[in-house]
Amino acid sequence: MARGIPDGEPSRWKCLLAYDGTEFAGWQKQPSGLAVQDKVEEALVHIFGSTVRTIGSGRTDAGVHAKGQIFHFDAPWTHPASSLLQALRTHCPTGISPRAISQVPGDFHALLSAQGKRYCYRACRGWAMPEVDRFIYSLKEKTVDLTRMQEAAKVFIGEHDFSSFSASRGEEDRGESKVRKVWKVNVVEVDQELQFIVEGGGFLYKMVRGMVGALFDVGAGKLLLSDIEEIFNAKKRTGRIVSAPAKGLCLEEVFYHSSK
């Protein structure tokens, strides 16, 4: 049953969402119904009594987490935004956590209004503790050199064709430009945890994971800095790039103009 839904013109709502991606098939709706977007829209049906379409700021792969996914939807609601947030929290399953919701102008678009994104990839030397193992990639016996990875990270800064570090979705992304602008790739270590902070205007399918995987191989001595430059120039994905596992990646923030 719908809960206190008034008649009238719909408003546009912007929602900040966090999720543990371990059990979900990524953000975007799937025939299996196991994507985060599927579960959010199921929750909205409980609230509004009819289908409500959501638009996300972008996809995350299966197994990837989020602290700062943004989506919007249009629906009539005259109660406080806090009541809508509570209703959404009530109907979302474990692992999906709406963090904030606000009414926004009708020209706001979660995807098209986005100016950029920040991702963080987390890995630990050795084995992760059980309570964080779902969110961190354990390097186990692998040894990587932090300084080498920091030097190689600089190569990714700027506007480049990232074909070599992304993966194809097939017909779905045919004709899509592979040029993306990246303005930050920081590699830091805190208490045996390696963090790869990547910011840019947009990202291709598995692009961040491909970049991090390449940096791991540089750190392990499997690739040289010159190899990264050569792979870039090839503009074609090859077996030399191995994507880092999804579990270590988290969408931390989507950037919008302050007016949005």
What is this structure's pTM? 0.93
The 10 Å Cβ neighbour count of residue 138 is 18
Q: Which residues pair with 11 in a beta bridge?
A: 75
CATH class of 116-255: alpha beta
Q: Which are the catalytic amino acids?
A: 61
3-class DSSP state for residue 124?
Answer: strand
3-class DSSP state for residue 144?
Answer: coil
Angle at 43 between CA 38 and CA 47, to 5 degrees: 145
* Structural tokens at position 134: 């779902």
* pLDDT values of the chain reduced to their tens digit, one per residue, 260 residues: 344 444 568 999 999 999 999 999 999 999 999 999 999 999 999 999 999 999 999 999 999 999 999 999 999 999 999 999 999 999 999 999 999 999 999 999 999 999 999 999 999 999 999 999 999 999 999 999 999 999 999 999 999 999 999 988 765 566 789 999 999 999 999 998 999 999 999 999 999 999 999 999 999 999 999 999 999 989 888 889 999 999 999 999 999 987 44
Contact 119, 252 (CB under 8 A): yes
Contact 120, 196 (CB under 8 A): yes
CATH 3.40.50.300 corresponds to the domain 11-104: no
Q: How do the domains of the chain map onto residue ranges?
A: 11-104, 116-255
**98-103 contacts at long range (C-beta below 8 A, 24 or more positions apart):** 98/15, 98/16, 98/17, 99/16, 99/17, 99/18, 100/15, 100/16, 101/13, 101/14, 101/15, 101/16, 102/13, 102/14, 103/11, 103/12, 103/13, 103/14
Same fold, 11-104 and 116-255: yes
Q: Length of the chain, please?
A: 260
